[in-house]
């Protein structure tokens, strides 16, 4: 199940684990990423809490935790090579995986068509 936030994060939910990253729209707004800081595995985060930091040639920005849960895995490849996020934001450029406290909370997020409508505005 693919979901999106109004902060331009995407989640691919399988069971009770979501893979999280930033959208292509976000990468275009930020420009070329030069630095990524990820949360530690085992960190518990609430919805809306800062989970990661990205820096581009234009600005630094927080990546927010889209739903409450515990970080189970991080993508250390993007720390070594932040360009992966720009080149493949919804594939190789994922940020972290989180075991969700309540999968049903995802129902409040955008689906793909809703997100596309949101970024048109």
Express each pLDDT in 52-89 by its tens digit: 999 998 889 999 999 999 999 999 999 999 999 999 99
pLDDT at 59: 87
pLDDT at 68: 98
Whole-angstrom Cα distance, residue 30 to residue 101?
30
Looking at the 3D structure of the chain, how many domains does it have?
A: 1
Which residues, 6 or more positions from 50, have their beta carbon under 8 angstroms from its beta carbon? 62, 63, 64, 65
121 pLDDT exceeds 90?
no
Is 93 domain-assigned?
A: yes
Instruction: Yes or no: say if 107 and 114 are a contact pair by the CB < 8 Å rule.
Output: no
Instruction: Output the pTM of the full model.
Output: 0.96
Residue identified by tokens 């849960």 is 69
Is 109 domain-assigned?
A: no
Express each pLDDT in 9-56 by its tens digit: 999 999 999 999 999 999 999 999 999 999 999 999 999 999 999 999
pLDDT at 97: 98
43-to-16, 37, 48, 49 alpha-carbon distances in Å: 16, 14, 14, 11
Is 111 domain-assigned?
A: no
User: Domain holding 50: CATH number?
Assistant: 2.40.50.100
Domain residues for 14?
A: 2-103
């Amino acid at each position: 199940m693919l979901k999106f936030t109004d902060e331009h994060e995407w989640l691919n939910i399988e069971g009770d684990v979501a893979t999280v990253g930033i959208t292509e729209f976000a990468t275009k707004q930020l420009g070329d990423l030069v630095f990524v800081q990820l949360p530690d595995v085992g960190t518990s985060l609430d919805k809306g809490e800062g989970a990661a930091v990205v820096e581009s040639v234009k600005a630094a920005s927080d990546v927010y935790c889209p739903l409450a849960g515990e970080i189970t895995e991080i993508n250390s490849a993007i720390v070594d090579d932040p360009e992966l996020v720009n080149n493949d934001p919804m594939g190789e450029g994922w940020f972290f995986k989180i075991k969700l406290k309540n999968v049903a909370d995802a129902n409040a997020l955008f689906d793909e068509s809703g997100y596309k409508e949101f970024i048109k505005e």
